[in-house]
Amino acid sequence: MKLEQHKKSVSLMSELEYSAHILALRNSRYEEKIIHKKKAAKSSKSKSSTARSRSMRKMTTKELASTVSKEAREALMKELMSK
């Protein structure tokens, strides 16, 4: 009787250890995915900002003027007319 109880307790302990091991593996994989996503987000942000600055440098004066607000254009025109 005691031998059967001992076998059951050993099998239960091994099942619990196995479950804990599997949970630890899943947790570490989940953390790796989160770290990978954060790194990917950082690299995509830096790429988009450099691409944006490149496109701003390539803009012609007409395109640049169209991006400036209407009030700023009017103020610039007044300043140019006064000279």
Distance CA 28, CA 35 (A): 11
Residues of the chain with pLDDT under 70: 1, 10, 43-70, 73, 83
